[in-house]
Amino acid sequence: MTKILEIKNLNISFKIEDELFRAVHNVNLSLEKGKVLGIVGESGCGKSVTAMSILRLLASNAVIESGEIIFNDKNLLNLSIKEMQQVRGSKIALIPQDPLTSLNPLYTIGDQLMETIKFHRGVSAKQAREIAIKALHDVKIPEVERRIDEYPHQFSGGMSQRVLIAMALCCNPEIIIADEPTTALDVTVQAQILDLIKELQKQRHTSLVFITHDLGVVAEFCDYVAVMYAGRIIEYADTRELFNNPLHPYTKGLFESLPAPGKEELKVIKGQPPSITESIPGCTFHPRCSYRMEVCDKDAPELVYKDGHMVSCYLY
Protein backbone atom coordinates (compact mmCIF):
# COMPACT_ATOMS: atom_id res chain seq x y z
CA MET A 1 0.00 0.00 0.00
CA THR A 2 1.06 3.60 -0.66
CA LYS A 3 2.07 5.60 2.39
CA ILE A 4 0.44 9.01 2.33
CA LEU A 5 1.90 10.22 5.65
CA GLU A 6 5.02 9.34 7.64
CA ILE A 7 6.05 10.65 11.05
CA LYS A 8 9.74 10.04 11.69
CA ASN A 9 11.58 10.36 15.02
CA LEU A 10 9.25 13.12 16.28
CA ASN A 11 10.20 14.79 19.57
CA ILE A 12 8.01 17.55 21.04
CA SER A 13 8.53 19.47 24.28
CA PHE A 14 6.64 22.21 26.11
CA LYS A 15 8.32 25.21 27.66
CA ILE A 16 7.13 25.73 31.23
CA GLU A 17 8.80 28.47 33.27
CA ASP A 18 11.88 28.54 31.03
CA GLU A 19 12.34 24.77 31.22
CA LEU A 20 11.58 22.25 28.49
CA PHE A 21 9.57 19.12 29.30
CA ARG A 22 9.33 16.33 26.73
CA ALA A 23 5.74 15.36 25.80
CA VAL A 24 6.35 13.21 22.70
CA HIS A 25 9.35 10.89 22.55
CA ASN A 26 10.76 9.64 19.25
CA VAL A 27 7.41 8.80 17.66
CA ASN A 28 7.39 6.93 14.35
CA LEU A 29 4.08 6.32 12.56
CA SER A 30 2.82 5.87 9.01
CA LEU A 31 -0.59 6.14 7.39
CA GLU A 32 -1.54 4.26 4.23
CA LYS A 33 -3.81 5.70 1.57
CA GLY A 34 -7.49 4.95 2.30
CA LYS A 35 -6.75 3.36 5.69
CA VAL A 36 -7.66 4.29 9.28
CA LEU A 37 -4.90 4.59 11.89
CA GLY A 38 -6.08 4.63 15.51
CA ILE A 39 -3.99 6.22 18.25
CA VAL A 40 -5.17 5.08 21.67
CA GLY A 41 -4.12 5.77 25.25
CA GLU A 42 -5.04 7.50 28.49
CA SER A 43 -5.53 11.26 28.71
CA GLY A 44 -2.20 13.07 28.65
CA CYS A 45 -0.31 10.31 26.82
CA GLY A 46 0.56 12.55 23.86
CA LYS A 47 -1.86 11.29 21.22
CA SER A 48 -3.52 14.66 20.53
CA VAL A 49 -0.17 16.49 20.60
CA THR A 50 1.16 14.05 18.01
CA ALA A 51 -1.91 14.55 15.82
CA MET A 52 -1.93 18.36 16.12
CA SER A 53 1.75 18.48 15.16
CA ILE A 54 0.73 17.18 11.71
CA LEU A 55 -1.32 20.36 11.19
CA ARG A 56 1.20 22.48 13.13
CA LEU A 57 -1.56 23.60 15.48
CA LEU A 58 0.35 23.17 18.73
CA ALA A 59 0.22 25.59 21.67
CA SER A 60 2.55 28.60 21.56
CA ASN A 61 4.86 27.07 24.20
CA ALA A 62 5.32 23.83 22.21
CA VAL A 63 8.70 23.15 20.64
CA ILE A 64 9.19 20.52 17.92
CA GLU A 65 12.78 19.62 18.77
CA SER A 66 13.41 17.10 16.00
CA GLY A 67 11.78 14.81 13.49
CA GLU A 68 10.00 14.86 10.15
CA ILE A 69 6.35 14.75 9.08
CA ILE A 70 6.30 13.70 5.44
CA PHE A 71 3.12 14.28 3.42
CA ASN A 72 3.21 13.73 -0.34
CA ASP A 73 7.03 13.79 -0.27
CA LYS A 74 7.16 17.14 1.58
CA ASN A 75 8.25 17.69 5.17
CA LEU A 76 5.40 19.71 6.69
CA LEU A 77 7.76 21.02 9.38
CA ASN A 78 9.74 22.88 6.71
CA LEU A 79 6.76 24.68 5.15
CA SER A 80 6.19 28.40 5.66
CA ILE A 81 3.10 29.62 7.52
CA LYS A 82 1.47 30.56 4.21
CA GLU A 83 2.24 27.18 2.65
CA MET A 84 0.87 25.42 5.74
CA GLN A 85 -2.37 27.40 5.51
CA GLN A 86 -2.86 25.94 2.05
CA VAL A 87 -2.48 22.42 3.45
CA ARG A 88 -4.82 22.82 6.44
CA GLY A 89 -8.41 22.18 5.49
CA SER A 90 -7.60 21.52 1.85
CA LYS A 91 -5.18 18.56 2.00
CA ILE A 92 -5.39 17.63 5.68
CA ALA A 93 -8.56 18.44 7.65
CA LEU A 94 -9.49 18.25 11.32
CA ILE A 95 -12.65 17.08 13.09
CA PRO A 96 -12.21 18.51 16.63
CA GLN A 97 -13.64 16.92 19.75
CA ASP A 98 -15.93 19.67 21.05
CA PRO A 99 -18.45 21.06 18.53
CA LEU A 100 -19.81 23.61 20.99
CA THR A 101 -16.49 25.48 21.19
CA SER A 102 -15.28 24.84 17.63
CA LEU A 103 -17.95 26.85 15.80
CA ASN A 104 -18.04 30.66 15.93
CA PRO A 105 -21.35 31.68 17.59
CA LEU A 106 -21.40 35.03 15.73
CA TYR A 107 -21.58 33.57 12.21
CA THR A 108 -24.13 31.31 10.53
CA ILE A 109 -23.26 27.71 9.72
CA GLY A 110 -23.31 28.58 6.03
CA ASP A 111 -20.94 31.53 6.41
CA GLN A 112 -18.41 29.36 8.24
CA LEU A 113 -18.55 26.59 5.65
CA MET A 114 -18.41 29.03 2.74
CA GLU A 115 -15.38 30.83 4.16
CA THR A 116 -13.41 27.57 4.11
CA ILE A 117 -14.62 26.65 0.63
CA LYS A 118 -13.88 30.04 -0.93
CA PHE A 119 -10.39 30.19 0.63
CA HIS A 120 -9.29 26.74 -0.52
CA ARG A 121 -11.25 26.23 -3.74
CA GLY A 122 -11.27 29.78 -5.14
CA VAL A 123 -14.94 29.73 -6.14
CA SER A 124 -17.63 32.42 -6.11
CA ALA A 125 -19.98 32.94 -3.17
CA LYS A 126 -22.82 31.29 -5.12
CA GLN A 127 -20.71 28.22 -5.94
CA ALA A 128 -19.44 28.05 -2.34
CA ARG A 129 -23.03 28.01 -1.06
CA GLU A 130 -23.93 25.18 -3.43
CA ILE A 131 -20.91 23.16 -2.26
CA ALA A 132 -21.79 23.88 1.39
CA ILE A 133 -25.39 22.72 0.88
CA LYS A 134 -24.20 19.48 -0.70
CA ALA A 135 -21.72 18.92 2.16
CA LEU A 136 -24.51 19.35 4.72
CA HIS A 137 -26.70 16.97 2.74
CA ASP A 138 -23.85 14.42 2.79
CA VAL A 139 -23.75 14.47 6.60
CA LYS A 140 -27.53 14.01 6.73
CA ILE A 141 -28.61 17.35 8.17
CA PRO A 142 -32.35 17.79 7.48
CA GLU A 143 -33.86 20.89 5.83
CA VAL A 144 -30.44 22.07 4.68
CA GLU A 145 -31.67 24.99 2.60
CA ARG A 146 -33.16 26.54 5.75
CA ARG A 147 -30.68 25.43 8.35
CA ILE A 148 -27.63 26.64 6.46
CA ASP A 149 -28.60 30.19 7.51
CA GLU A 150 -28.97 29.31 11.21
CA TYR A 151 -26.44 29.91 13.99
CA PRO A 152 -24.54 27.28 16.01
CA HIS A 153 -26.72 27.77 19.12
CA GLN A 154 -29.69 26.55 17.06
CA PHE A 155 -28.01 23.16 16.53
CA SER A 156 -27.79 20.27 18.99
CA GLY A 157 -24.39 18.82 19.90
CA GLY A 158 -24.83 15.95 17.43
CA MET A 159 -25.91 18.26 14.60
CA SER A 160 -23.03 20.63 15.37
CA GLN A 161 -20.62 17.72 15.09
CA ARG A 162 -22.15 16.85 11.71
CA VAL A 163 -21.44 20.44 10.61
CA LEU A 164 -17.79 20.02 11.62
CA ILE A 165 -17.59 16.78 9.63
CA ALA A 166 -19.07 18.62 6.63
CA MET A 167 -16.50 21.38 7.10
CA ALA A 168 -13.69 18.82 7.15
CA LEU A 169 -14.94 17.11 3.98
CA CYS A 170 -16.02 20.09 1.87
CA CYS A 171 -12.58 20.56 0.27
CA ASN A 172 -12.05 16.83 -0.38
CA PRO A 173 -8.94 16.40 1.82
CA GLU A 174 -6.63 13.45 1.44
CA ILE A 175 -6.31 12.99 5.21
CA ILE A 176 -8.74 13.68 8.05
CA ILE A 177 -7.64 13.86 11.68
CA ALA A 178 -10.51 13.04 14.04
CA ASP A 179 -9.53 14.05 17.59
CA GLU A 180 -11.95 12.18 19.86
CA PRO A 181 -14.89 13.52 17.81
CA THR A 182 -17.60 12.02 20.03
CA THR A 183 -16.26 12.86 23.50
CA ALA A 184 -18.78 15.66 24.17
CA LEU A 185 -21.81 13.70 22.90
CA ASP A 186 -24.19 11.25 24.58
CA VAL A 187 -23.88 7.55 23.81
CA THR A 188 -26.71 7.29 21.27
CA VAL A 189 -25.46 10.28 19.28
CA GLN A 190 -21.87 8.97 19.50
CA ALA A 191 -22.86 5.82 17.62
CA GLN A 192 -24.60 7.85 14.89
CA ILE A 193 -21.59 10.14 14.41
CA LEU A 194 -19.14 7.22 14.29
CA ASP A 195 -21.28 5.41 11.72
CA LEU A 196 -21.41 8.60 9.64
CA ILE A 197 -17.63 9.13 9.72
CA LYS A 198 -17.02 5.50 8.83
CA GLU A 199 -19.52 5.63 5.94
CA LEU A 200 -18.07 8.83 4.46
CA GLN A 201 -14.49 7.63 4.88
CA LYS A 202 -15.25 4.43 2.97
CA GLN A 203 -17.17 6.27 0.23
CA ARG A 204 -14.41 8.79 -0.39
CA HIS A 205 -11.47 6.45 0.29
CA THR A 206 -10.04 9.13 2.59
CA SER A 207 -7.15 8.34 4.93
CA LEU A 208 -8.02 8.89 8.59
CA VAL A 209 -6.10 9.37 11.84
CA PHE A 210 -8.51 8.57 14.66
CA ILE A 211 -7.61 9.67 18.20
CA THR A 212 -9.50 7.91 20.98
CA HIS A 213 -9.32 6.31 24.40
CA ASP A 214 -12.15 3.89 23.57
CA LEU A 215 -10.96 0.43 22.53
CA GLY A 216 -14.49 -0.49 21.43
CA VAL A 217 -14.37 2.24 18.81
CA VAL A 218 -10.91 1.09 17.71
CA ALA A 219 -12.15 -2.49 17.21
CA GLU A 220 -14.82 -1.59 14.68
CA PHE A 221 -13.23 1.46 13.11
CA CYS A 222 -9.45 1.20 12.67
CA ASP A 223 -7.20 -0.81 10.36
CA TYR A 224 -4.07 -0.24 12.47
CA VAL A 225 -3.55 0.83 16.09
CA ALA A 226 -0.74 2.64 17.88
CA VAL A 227 -0.88 2.43 21.68
CA MET A 228 0.72 5.42 23.41
CA TYR A 229 1.90 5.78 26.99
CA ALA A 230 3.72 8.77 28.48
CA GLY A 231 4.49 10.23 25.05
CA ARG A 232 5.84 7.01 23.53
CA ILE A 233 4.50 4.42 21.10
CA ILE A 234 4.64 1.23 23.16
CA GLU A 235 2.79 -1.09 20.78
CA TYR A 236 1.77 -0.99 17.11
CA ALA A 237 -0.14 -3.56 15.08
CA ASP A 238 -3.08 -4.12 12.79
CA THR A 239 -6.31 -4.09 14.78
CA ARG A 240 -7.12 -7.80 14.64
CA GLU A 241 -3.59 -8.76 15.67
CA LEU A 242 -3.62 -6.33 18.60
CA PHE A 243 -6.98 -7.52 19.91
CA ASN A 244 -6.15 -11.21 19.50
CA ASN A 245 -2.63 -10.98 20.91
CA PRO A 246 -1.83 -7.86 23.00
CA LEU A 247 1.80 -8.01 24.12
CA HIS A 248 2.72 -4.96 26.20
CA PRO A 249 1.67 -5.11 29.89
CA TYR A 250 -0.02 -1.72 29.51
CA THR A 251 -2.05 -2.88 26.49
CA LYS A 252 -3.02 -6.07 28.35
CA GLY A 253 -4.11 -3.91 31.29
CA LEU A 254 -6.33 -1.81 29.03
CA PHE A 255 -8.08 -4.91 27.72
CA GLU A 256 -8.47 -6.42 31.18
CA SER A 257 -10.20 -3.24 32.36
CA LEU A 258 -12.94 -3.54 29.71
CA PRO A 259 -16.39 -4.85 30.73
CA ALA A 260 -17.56 -8.03 29.01
CA PRO A 261 -20.52 -10.43 29.29
CA GLY A 262 -19.98 -12.81 32.20
CA LYS A 263 -17.04 -10.82 33.54
CA GLU A 264 -17.57 -10.46 37.28
CA GLU A 265 -14.69 -8.17 38.14
CA LEU A 266 -12.90 -5.45 36.21
CA LYS A 267 -9.16 -5.21 36.73
CA VAL A 268 -7.49 -1.83 37.00
CA ILE A 269 -3.99 -0.64 36.22
CA LYS A 270 -2.70 0.53 39.57
CA GLY A 271 -1.20 3.99 39.95
CA GLN A 272 -1.34 6.97 37.62
CA PRO A 273 0.44 7.81 34.36
CA PRO A 274 3.33 10.23 34.88
CA SER A 275 2.86 13.95 34.33
CA ILE A 276 4.91 15.80 31.75
CA THR A 277 7.13 17.27 34.50
CA GLU A 278 8.06 13.86 35.98
CA SER A 279 11.34 12.32 34.95
CA ILE A 280 11.20 8.52 35.10
CA PRO A 281 14.38 6.61 34.17
CA GLY A 282 14.07 3.46 32.12
CA CYS A 283 10.65 2.27 30.99
CA THR A 284 8.07 4.91 31.93
CA PHE A 285 5.49 2.19 32.68
CA HIS A 286 7.68 0.30 35.16
CA PRO A 287 6.22 1.94 38.33
CA ARG A 288 2.81 0.43 37.43
CA CYS A 289 3.96 -2.81 35.81
CA SER A 290 3.47 -6.25 37.40
CA TYR A 291 6.17 -7.71 35.08
CA ARG A 292 8.85 -5.23 36.21
CA MET A 293 12.48 -6.38 36.01
CA GLU A 294 15.69 -4.72 37.15
CA VAL A 295 16.60 -3.62 33.62
CA CYS A 296 13.27 -1.76 33.32
CA ASP A 297 14.46 0.81 35.90
CA LYS A 298 17.55 1.76 33.91
CA ASP A 299 16.98 2.00 30.15
CA ALA A 300 13.91 2.64 28.02
CA PRO A 301 13.24 -0.37 25.74
CA GLU A 302 13.13 0.15 21.98
CA LEU A 303 10.34 -0.96 19.67
CA VAL A 304 11.06 -4.47 18.37
CA TYR A 305 9.21 -6.73 15.96
CA LYS A 306 7.50 -9.63 17.75
CA ASP A 307 4.66 -11.97 16.75
CA GLY A 308 3.37 -9.83 13.90
CA HIS A 309 3.66 -6.37 15.43
CA MET A 310 5.89 -3.86 17.17
CA VAL A 311 6.25 -3.70 20.95
CA SER A 312 8.47 -1.79 23.37
CA CYS A 313 9.08 -4.08 26.34
CA TYR A 314 12.01 -6.07 27.80
CA LEU A 315 9.80 -9.16 27.99
CA TYR A 316 10.49 -9.45 24.26
The CATH number covering residue 32 comes to 3.40.50.300
A 10 A CB-CB count for 82 gives 7
**For the chain, how many structural domains are there in total?**
1
For residue 258, is it within any domain?
yes
Q: What is the model's pLDDT at position 221?
A: 86
Q: What is the model's pLDDT at position 1?
A: 63
Query: Tell me: the pLDDT tens digits for 32-49?
Result: 999 999 999 988 899 999
pTM: 0.92
For residue 316, is it within any domain?
no
- Residue 172, sorted as left (phi over 0), alpha (psi -120 to 50) or beta, turns out to be left
Q: How far is CA 213 from the centre of its chain?
A: 10
Q: What is the model's pLDDT at position 63?
A: 94
Considering only CA atoms, which of 128, 188, 137, 187 is closest in space to residue 162? 137
**Positions of the chain with pLDDT under 70:** 1
Q: What is the model's pLDDT at position 78?
A: 96
For residue 223, is it within any domain?
yes
Q: What is the model's pLDDT at position 302?
A: 92
Tell me the residue range of the domain where 116 lies: 3-311
